[in-house]
Structures are given as C-alpha cells and as structure tokens.
Amino acid sequence: MELEDYDAAFAFTEHIPEMKWTPTLIRDVVKAYGDAEPTQRVTVIGKPTDVTQRKNVDRWPKNAHGAVGEIWYDLNIDGFVSDLTATFVILDVDDGLDIALNDIHVM
C-alpha cells in the first residue's frame, strides 16, 4: 500500500464478501482519514504520536464460519502512527490459513 498500488494490496488478501471491499474503496478510506489530504498514504514506517498503536493477533478454536482468529493492525499514515485500523479474519482452509480483510476504520 505504500506504493499506492491498491489493486495489488487488494489481491494480497482474501475479503469478507459482505464488506464489499474494492481497491477504490480501500484507497478512499485511506485518503479520508484524519486531515483527508489527497496525497496521504499508508507507510511501512511510522513515527510515534499520541496514538497508542495496535498490532494484535488473537486466536480461538475454529468457529462455524471457519474463523480461527483475527488481526487488528493500526496503519501508519504519511510516516506517522495512526488509529486507522485494518482488521482481518484468520480462516482455516484446506491448505492452511487465509487472511481475509474485514474492515478498515478508526478504532
């Protein structure tokens, strides 16, 4: 996402169908965060701010939907820590585990 290749970012994970994510919607959510600068982007590195950043993985026994856990990952925006959180579901599939984008929003 740092390169703003939202198509590639979208293709990198599975998706929860009910959430109706698209590469354009992911881009729009990133661009609408905080000051909503049209040039802002997700960055790998994030300098600390007053936000406590979250990068959590929780696991549990497989449920009826095949989920075995979730990931909450606070994104860095323009080189700074943010509270824009991407949440993912960890799915148990035949050949291992899949990560599915669930949501991106301020937590």
**What digits encode the pLDDT tens for the residues 79-92?**
999 999 999 999 99
**Could you give the CA distance from residue 61 to residue 57 in angstroms, rounded to a whole number?**
14
Q: Residue for token digits 């998706």?
A: 15
Looking at the domain assignment, is residue 1 inside a domain? no
Looking at the domain assignment, is residue 77 inside a domain? yes
Query: Do 70 and 100 touch, CB atoms closer than 8 A?
Result: no
Looking at the domain assignment, is residue 10 inside a domain? yes
Looking at the domain assignment, is residue 55 inside a domain? yes
Contacts with 104 (C-beta within 8 Å, 6 or more apart), sequence order: 26, 29, 30, 75, 84, 85, 86, 87
pLDDT tens string 31-67: 999 999 999 999 999 999 999 899 999 999 999 999 9
**Could you give the CA distance from residue 55 to residue 75 in angstroms, rounded to a whole number?**
9
Looking at the domain assignment, is residue 13 inside a domain? yes
Where residue 107 falls among pLDDT bands split at 50, 70, 90? confident
- Token pair listed for 37: 């600068």
Query: How many domains, the chain?
Result: 1
The pTM score is: 0.92
Query: Do 78 and 35 touch, CB atoms closer than 8 A?
Result: no
| pLDDT, position 11 | 95
Looking at the domain assignment, is residue 52 inside a domain? yes
Domain that holds residue 63: 6-106
